[in-house]
Amino acid sequence: MAHDWEKMKKSNSDQVVDNVDAMNEIFKHLDAHSLAVASCVSRRWYVAAMDDNLWEVICTRHWPASGICIGRLKCVVNVMGGFRRLYVKWLHPLCTHSAASNSNTNSKDLDNNVVWTADQVHLSLSLLSVEYFEKLGPFATASCHGNSCTISRPQLLHKEQEKAEDGHYGKTFYKEDQRHPNWMAHFS
């Protein structure tokens, strides 16, 4: 069944609760755990919750206190899969692992109260980079000469450009084929 995503995004006074911009404003006040649960409610909520800007705030809110400079890292993280990926694949598991000895701490509390150390953040970023490098597959292999491996700069910049053009995943999504049965793959 085809869905008119552009119509969905547009504000409609009879369907205010489905207004994605309004949802996005609300989701800015959610922690990671609540955001993840919210993404399971419906397609609109999923799209609103997948906005990588939301996850950037969740990931970086304590970085300045840890002495980590966000500015330059932001475009690198965007190229390598985005902040949601960074959080779900690396930051959250790292934090869960390091708090494993505290049997009173559950996943939800970790999301609400965590302040990552600089080491944890750097490790997560490194792991994200390694994962990205592995995904490049043939490009990465072809660029490796002897002891040095270089990833083609135009390829990296092209990926960055794709993501930067529309601001964030959500907006890019709306421009793509909305009837594509595999629309969710865009957010993977």
Partner 1 sequence: MAELPNTTMANECKVKLKSKDDKIFEVEYAVAMQSQTLKNALAHTGCTDTALPLHDISSQILAKVIEYCEYHVNAANTISEKDVKTWDEELVKHMDQDTLFRLIVAAKYLEIHNLVDLMCKTIADRIKDKSVEELREIFHVQNDFTPEEEEQVRRETKWAHGE
Contact set with partner 1 (CB under 8 A) = 11, 13, 16-19, 21-22, 25-34, 36-46, 88, 92-93, 106-108, 111, 184, 188
Identity of the residue, 10 or 158, whose beta carbon is nearer to partner 1 in the bound complex: 10
Rounded distance between C-alpha atoms, residue 45 and residue 99, angstroms: 30
Categorise residue 150: left if φ over 0, alpha if ψ from -120 to 50, beta otherwise. Answer: beta
Least gap, CB of 4 to partner 1 (angstroms) = 13
Identity of the residue, 157 or 167, whose beta carbon is nearer to partner 1 in the bound complex: 167
Least gap, CB of 27 to partner 1 (angstroms) = 8
Least gap, CB of 118 to partner 1 (angstroms) = 23
Identity of the residue, 42 or 113, whose beta carbon is nearer to partner 1 in the bound complex: 42
Q: For the chain, what is the radius of gyration of the CA atoms?
A: 18
Identity of the residue, 101 or 141, whose beta carbon is nearer to partner 1 in the bound complex: 101
Q: CA torsion angle for 56, 57, 63, 64 (degrees, to 10)?
A: 120
Residue type, position 102, single letter: N
Q: CA torsion angle for 18, 23, 26, 29 (degrees, to 10)?
A: 140
Least gap, CB of 184 to partner 1 (angstroms) = 6
Helices first, then strands: H and E counts in the chain: 13, 2
